[in-house]
Amino acid sequence: MTVATKGQAMLTVTNLTRSFASGDGLVTALKDVSFEIPEGKFASIVGRSGSGKSTLLSLLGGLDKPTSGNIIVDGKSLAQLRDHALIAYRCSTIGFVFQNYNLIPNLTALENVMLPMEFNGHVPHERAARSKQLLDQVGLDGAKQQRKPGRLSGGEQQRVAIARALANKPKLILADEPTGNLDEQTGKMIFDLLHSLSRSENTTIVAVTHDLSIAGRTDVTFRLSDGQLVTDKSTK
Amino acid sequence: MNAFSRGIRNAFRNTIRTVAIVGMLSLSIGLSLSMLLAHQAIGQKITSVQKNIGNTISIAPAGIRGFDGGGTPLTSDAIKKVKSLTHITSIDQSVNDRLGSDTTNIQSSIDAGSFGRRQFRNEGGGGGDVAFGGESRQAPDLTNFTLPIPVTGSTNPLGSVSGSSDSSVTLVSGNVFDGSKDADVALMGKGIADKNSLKTGSTFAAYGTTITVSGIFDGGNTFSNNQIIMPLPTIQRLSSQSNTITSAIVHIDSAVNLGSTTNAIKNALGSTADITNDADTAKATLGSLQNIQNVSLFSLIGAAGTAAVIILLTMVMIVRERRREIGILKAIGASNVRVMLQFTVESITLTVLAAAIGIIIGSLAATPVTKLLANNSTSDTTASQTAPVGERPGPRLMGGGFRTHFNNNGAIRGIKNLRANVDASILGYGFGSAILIAAIGSTAAAGLIAKVRPSEVMRAE
Ligand SMILES: Nc1ncnc2c1ncn2[C@@H]1O[C@H](COP(=O)(O)OP(=O)(O)O)[C@@H](O)[C@H]1O
Ligand SMILES: [Mg+2]
């Protein structure tokens, strides 16, 4: 429990509950979840399929609204954000990495990385320069930067997705099973990439994973079971 | 890269689909444009028909059948009675005669042929009085025989040229005289003038008088160019038909008063005259025109509606297909408006492309479509309208008639010759409708886009 005292909390979650109306009744995907993640830490969330991990990440990313409870990111309460501020939050404060990459299929790797910067109002030449630099940083070489996602491997697509998540220099990166579709070795490389980023840029990362060997190497791990937080163990 | 360029690029994302959609859209836009142009052309025709027909009434002596004789000629007094009625703006009056070789020194431009000679021999045997102004003659020398020349005394000189369609009578040289003032002047058909080497200012002899050629006209065909027109009182005097009128055309202020004025004239003249108006012709002509106009309007609405439905369904299909992509854009920070803009640009790109092709199709199809519509709806009317003209009572058939009935023919013939007016305005209509259709298509898309929740991207495919 030493971590929580280090630095300021980037993320504070209190009594978070999310229920869905489904068919005959109510499915509670998340029940009264509370935790805190300090700035610059790499946190992992583990749990069986259906335990509420993606639901939690959606709420943290402002893609969905909680039934009750509160989320404070970088000192700001998400519940208080109006439409416009919420869009700005998704665009600049956080960066999302998905299990199935979710790149736009008819845009090149470079254009995909440029998208969030366009939404953020950066001028075109700035977007292109920074996108190139980011793709170099995640290890996608020049020729592949001009390819569309369909002509890149899974690992390469996930590198592009990470570059896109970093585009607007977010404070918080949310990754939902980023290595889930990759072979073990590639998964490890992607994880190392995220890890080194969190170190060099002091970016806070929350990553959902199945892989316990990966979870074991993060700063903090949360385990979800049936929508409830069961353990809160620090590894480092 | 921005929402605009992405929208344009997305329009060409799937080549087969783009070709299919643009193909369907351009056909319906082209069809609606050609219908629009047809509708306009027919509208213009209706206006001109309304101006030109339906406001004249013909008066002819009861029972007269051209030069076959019969009937008692009208008198100037009867015309005066008609003139005093309301709604009448003017009356064109004419009296007919024929100049034979014994009454003039000029020759007809039409060769009699053997048929003409035989006819003449039969007539010479007796009963030719009406045709030859009541003068009796010796049996003529048939070897030198030429056809008599129709001569008309008229208050509306150029308007009384017979056998010519509406606006095709032109004055080749000289001036038109005042047809209501007695003077020894004549307008001469080009055919006779050429045959007798006469020019404006030349003189010829007729009825024992020297007549000056005041002008030469061209009626466009041999028959109409073989006529002489003189002032009404002059012919009445020279042919000893003073106070006689062989036909009159009454012009009234508006087609609306045609029925009532026709009845008023019938009451005034009683059984001495045949009164006919062109109401039926006008009705039939306008009726068929209005039918075509309606057909073109419904087709226009149908084709434009089809285009709107095509783009609407296309956009719904495209948005549904790209739900996930919309979710991604929203999840990484695009606003609803930005995504809607991108899809609107895509739909405008498709419709503008289709409009460009549709404008070409519409321009090429407009005139054929107009003609097709006109021919199909008026072929019956034309057949039934043309026949009675020849059977109408009165001397018009043989010469000296007015052009009114040719006007009617002209109006109907005009339908067949309808031309759509393809000009730059088609660009405005084409692209304007494209933007409108795209806007309609985009509203449905926008509604669906707004509904896509960004959290959907978290679900596996
Ligand atoms: N939009 C939704 N509507 C209804 N039920 C949902 C919805 N999203 C998630 N759930 C339910 O919530 C539970 C947690 O789902 P999820 O967060 O996706 O699990 P995980 O990511 O841990 O596999 C599941 O039972 C799932 O069926
Ligand atoms: Mg999940």
Beta strand spans in chain A (E): 9-22, 25-38, 42-47, 68-73, 76-77, 94-97, 172-176, 204-208, 220-225, 228-234
Taking the C-alpha atoms of residue A226 and residue A49, their distance in angstroms, rounded to an integer, is 9
Please state the length of chain B. Answer: 461
Strand, coil or helix: B395: helix
CA B11 to centroid of chain Cα atoms: 46
Structure tokens at A51: 């335990």
Q: Report the residue of A18, A106, A148 to disrupt the B interface, i.e. the one with the largest count of B CBs within 10 Å.
A: A106
Helix ranges, A53-108 (H)? 53-60, 83-88
- Is residue B270 a contact partner of residue B59, using CB atoms and an 8 Å limit? no
Contacts of A127 (CB under 8 A, 6+ apart): A114, A117, A118
Structure tokens at B287: 């009726």
CA A59 to centroid of chain Cα atoms: 11
Closest Cβ opposite residue A98 in set B2, B325, B457: B457
User: How far is residue A123 from each of residues A134, A146, A161, measured CA to CA in Å?
Assistant: 17, 20, 21
Q: Determine contact: A112 vs chain B, CB below 8 A.
A: no
A98 and B6: CB-CB below 8 Å? no
Residue that is written with structure tokens 């084409």 in the block: B430
Structure tokens at B147: 């056809």
Contacts of A196 (CB under 8 A, 6+ apart): none
CA B409 to centroid of chain Cα atoms: 8
Q: Determine contact: A88 vs chain B, CB below 8 A.
A: yes
CA geometry: angle A19, A24, A29, nearest 5 deg? 20
E strand or H helix that includes residue B346: helix B336-391
Q: Name the pTM for this structure.
A: 0.70
Residue that is written with structure tokens 């669906």 in the block: B448
Query: What's the pLDDT at A24?
Result: 82
Strand, coil or helix: B186: strand
Domain boundaries, chain B: 3-49+286-382+417-460
Contacts of A108 (CB under 8 A, 6+ apart): A145, A146, A147, A148
Domain boundaries, chain A: 40-66+81-234
Taking the C-alpha atoms of residue B152 and residue B250, their distance in angstroms, rounded to an integer, is 18
**Mean pLDDT in each 10-residue stretch from start to end of chain A (236 residues)?**
58 96 90 96 94 96 96 95 94 94 96 96 92 93 95 95 95 94 88 87 92 88 94 54
How far away, in angstroms, is B78 Cα from ligand 1 center?
A: 102
Taking the C-alpha atoms of residue A189 and residue A164, their distance in angstroms, rounded to an integer, is 17
Query: What's the pLDDT at B155?
Result: 92
Closest Cβ opposite residue A120 in set B330, B333, B455: B333
Q: Determine contact: A106 vs chain B, CB below 8 A.
A: yes
Cβ–ligand 1 distance for A77 under 6 Å, the answer: no
What ipTM describes this predicted complex? Answer: 0.94
Cβ–ligand 1 distance for A29 under 6 Å, the answer: yes
- Is residue B96 a contact partner of residue B90, using CB atoms and an 8 Å limit? no
E strand or H helix that includes residue B299: helix B279-321
Cβ–ligand 1 distance for A33 under 6 Å, the answer: no
The alpha carbon of residue A86 is apart from the nearest alpha carbon of chain B, in Å, by 9
CB contacts < 8 A, A to B, total: 72
How far away, in angstroms, is A176 Cα from ligand 2 center?
A: 7
Query: What's the pLDDT at B69?
Result: 53
Q: Give the number of other Cβ atoms within 10 Å of residue B222's Cβ.
A: 13
- Closest atom of ligand 1 to CA, residue A177: 21
Task: Name the residue of A54, A177, A208 whose CB sits within 8 Å of the most ligand 1 atoms, as the mutation to test its pocket.
Answer: A54
- Closest atom of ligand 1 to CA, residue A48: 22
Structure tokens at A170: 């977010």
Q: Whose CA is nearest to atom 5 of ligand 1?
A: A20
- Is residue A110 a contact partner of residue A132, using CB atoms and an 8 Å limit? yes
From chain B, the residues in CB contact with A115 under 8 A are 1, 329, 332, 334
Kindly state the greatest CA–CA separation across chain B: 117
**CB-side exposure of B28: number of CA atoms within 13 Å?**
21
Residues 194-233 of A with CB under 8 A from B: none
Q: Determine contact: B1 vs chain A, CB below 8 A.
A: yes
Closest Cβ opposite residue A164 in set B10, B332, B335: B332
A106 and B10: CB-CB below 8 Å? yes
| Residue (of B29, B51, B44) closest to B293 by Cα position | B44
Q: Determine contact: A26 vs chain B, CB below 8 A.
A: no
Query: What's the pLDDT at B448?
Result: 93
Q: How many helices (H) and strands (E) does chain A have?
A: 8, 10
Closest Cβ opposite residue B332 in set A55, A90, A106: A90
Cβ–ligand 1 distance for A159 under 6 Å, the answer: no
Residues in chain B, pLDDT under 70? 51-52, 63-71, 112-145, 164-167, 376-417, 460-461
Taking the C-alpha atoms of residue B290 and residue B39, their distance in angstroms, rounded to an integer, is 10
Query: What's the pLDDT at B50?
Result: 72
Cβ–ligand 1 distance for A58 under 6 Å, the answer: no
Query: Pairing between strand B149-154 and B228-231?
Result: parallel
CATH number of A40-66+81-234: 3.40.50.300
Cβ–ligand 1 distance for A27 under 6 Å, the answer: yes
Please state the length of chain A. Answer: 236
pLDDT tens track for B54-64: 778 888 887 65
